[in-house]
Structure 1
């Protein structure tokens, strides 16, 4: 899954952020001090520095798996999303050129709320789910970008934080029972019909028989 996200990001950056910038490399190396010293061409670095589960997208229960006729053939657990955080930086000989590249990268990712479906690999495509992307959000409280650069042994550099929430579907699949082929039958043979109270008897009167109703008093 991670390698498919890498390739989707690489294709997106090359197609929409760099355009005709064929002389710019797109790499995923750790931008350490030694790496920066060896670099000799304009480069966009997409460094994957953090992987953690996106708990906001976790769901419970099981999901049905259907066949071509729409029948349930199996059940499985819903996918779990993982946030892949990329530190994106531009490396050239002049800060102005780096800022220009960062501006193009920012505009590129702002145009997409999710990775384009045509750039996804088979594993991500098979889920049928969108792959959300966020750009330049404030970092979590337990992490600062300055700490990331310090851990890499380099100086603080302008960069963009891109987070991709990718689904992982590796849960076990439980086969479902066969569908019901016959309709349901209800047996009412042992159900008694409700009893009906007898009709009130007529009461003789001066003008012929009358029916005595409950609660009615006849005159003298």
Structure 2
């Protein structure tokens, strides 16, 4: 799943920049890496992976066929947030800023990764792959700490977060649809109850009353 997100991001960035001279890489932007770089580069460094708990759902979900029938059932996918630190590397800070502005406009126009660029694993879920750009960092993490951990100097950068669905558990085939309604057959073999005789005043006769002497 992670490699499919990488390829989708690479295609999206390359299509936006439109210049074959700008490289798109996923290397850690350490001090040594920066010293070896010799071409204009956009770096998308994956620095954090964690589950997106806000998107977790319970129970089972249905998978529907072409005619709208349920063909299988399984556990709902779970989303994982992939956080990328996007930085631009050129000989001039002004060129780096232009690249960052271009990338910012690119990701602002997309609320999710384009479906046409998704790999087979992400496409199989049939779900969108949402993304956010340049949101405030969580309270437990600062971008300056990321650059410090890399051993490099702080640079202007964009924080891109992609929430990718991951299928969990197998799918179970659903049984065939019911084509007839429920039919209930009753077999009552009990003997019929005796009918009560007519009551007095309803066409019957009453036994004569005997008087005592």
Q: Tell me, yes or no, if the aligned pair for 2:76 and 2:168 is still in contact at 8 Å.
A: no
SS class of match (2:42): strand
Counterpart check, 1:7 vs 2:7: yes
What TM-score, normalized by structure 1, do the two folds share? 0.81
Partner Cα distance (2:99, 2:63) in 1: 44
* Aligned equivalent of 2:57: 59
For 1:48-97, what per-residue CA distance to the aligned partner results, in whole angstroms no more than 9, with x for missing partners? Answer: 00000000111111011234454333210001000000000000111111
1:22: how far off? 1.6
Which residue of 1 is the match for residue 112 of structure 2?
A: 114
TM-fit CA distance, 1:189: 7.2
Counterpart CA distance in 1 for 2:41 and 2:139 is 30
**Secondary structure class of the residue paired with 2:50:** strand
Is 1:105–2:98 an aligned residue pair? no
Q: How many residues align?
A: 189
Q: Distance in 1 between matches of 2:111 and 2:122?
A: 16
Query: What is the CA distance between 1:175 and its match in structure 2?
Result: 3.4
Structure 1, unmatched stretches of 5+, are 191-200, 202-220
**2:15 partner SS:** helix
Name the residue aligned to 1:90: 88
Task: Please tell me the root mean square deviation across aligned C-alpha atoms, in Å.
Answer: 1.7
What secondary structure does 2:104 align onto? helix
- Alignment map for 1:1-220 (pairs within 5 Å): 1-16=1-16, 18-19=17-18, 21-187=19-185
Instruction: Quote how far apart the aligned CAs of 1:179 are.
Output: 3.3
1:20-39 Cα offsets, whole Å, 9 max, x none, are x2211000000000000100
CA distance in 2, matches of 1:123, 1:96: 39
Supply the distance in 2 between the matched residues of 1:36 and 1:23 (Cα, whole angstroms).
Answer: 17
1:208 aligns to what? none
